[in-house]
């Protein structure tokens, strides 16, 4: 049976989503370990997004193939009983046989939170970039408008050895300015390695006046990581939602 899992996690103390050879401290690794214990044999879990070390998720989706006599509710309860308190399986449902959480994803939504006030929010500090600067949000919005659409985002990717296409579509970049915080929300059909964090770093530089909004076209056309801005810290980034054409 193919099972879909909707997952939330605080990524602060983990080495990212993806299981790695040199550490067992990943989200995927923790979930696989518990499922494998439940089933009595190795279970492989596929995630919709390979969030980096320190990145959080409110709407991660994963799927796994395994056999069990437990109901979906019992699987969910078992996982949450044995998983660390900063990982929560929100729901487990039976999925279609061909459902793949990553390959079937049509849209992903990420948000990035910037602490903009002079005081740190001690309760939100693990989920915000502690910038504490005055930014020109209108200039950032102008730059973001240029970045929307279908482009080659190679300049906004940290993986220099990537051989696959770096063309992606960003449907919308929304920038909210609150009293003590700036929130950037990105909706697209997919994102490259570190892409959202590099986009944020570049937009911050626009907000600082270090770049003009219209230089976004030059960065996109250059297809050179060196043209874009810095990579914003991981802790400000959260995967909000993964969208599919149907429920599965």
Tell me the two tokens of residue 202: 């570049």
Spatial distance between the Cα atoms of 12 and 142, rounded to a whole number of angstroms:
32
6 flagged as catalytic: no
Q: Are strands 56-65 and 237-243 parallel, antiparallel or unpaired?
A: parallel
Number of C-beta neighbours around residue 193 at 10 A? 15
> Do the Cβ atoms of 19 and 42 come closer than 8 Å?
no
Catalytic option among 52, 136, 152, 224: 52
- What's the CA dihedral at 16, 17, 19, 20 to 10 degrees? -20
H helix or E strand, kind and range, residue 219: helix 215-222
Residues designated catalytic:
52
């Amino acid at each position: 049976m193919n099972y879909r899992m909707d997952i939330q996690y605080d990524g602060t103390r983990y080495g990212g989503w993806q299981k790695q050879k040199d550490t067992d401290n990943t989200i995927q690794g923790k979930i696989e370990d518990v499922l494998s214990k439940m089933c009595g044999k190795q279970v492989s879990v596929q995630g919709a997004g390979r969030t980096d070390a320190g990145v959080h998720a409110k709407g991660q989706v994963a799927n796994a193939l395994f056999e069990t006599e437990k109901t979906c509710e019992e699987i969910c309860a078992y996982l949450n009983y044995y998983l660390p308190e900063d990982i929560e399986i929100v729901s487990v449902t039976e999925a279609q046989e061909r459902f793949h959480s990553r390959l079937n994803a049509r849209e992903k939504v990420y948000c990035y939170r910037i602490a903009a006030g002079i005081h740190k929010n001690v309760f939100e500090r693990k989920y915000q970039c502690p910038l504490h600067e005055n930014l020109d949000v209108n200039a950032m919005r102008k730059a973001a408008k240029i970045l929307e659409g279908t482009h080659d985002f190679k300049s906004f990717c940290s993986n220099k050895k990537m051989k696959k296409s770096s063309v992606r579509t960003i449907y919308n970049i929304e920038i909210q300015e609150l009293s003590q915080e700036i929130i950037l929300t990105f909706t697209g059909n997919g994102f490259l390695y570190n892409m959202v964090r590099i986009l944020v770093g570049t937009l911050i530089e626009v907000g600082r006046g270090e770049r003009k909004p219209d230089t976004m076209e030059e960065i996109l056309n250059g297809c050179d990581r060196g043209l874009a801005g810095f990579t914003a810290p991981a802790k400000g980034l959260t995967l909000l939602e993964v969208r599919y054409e149907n429920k599965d």
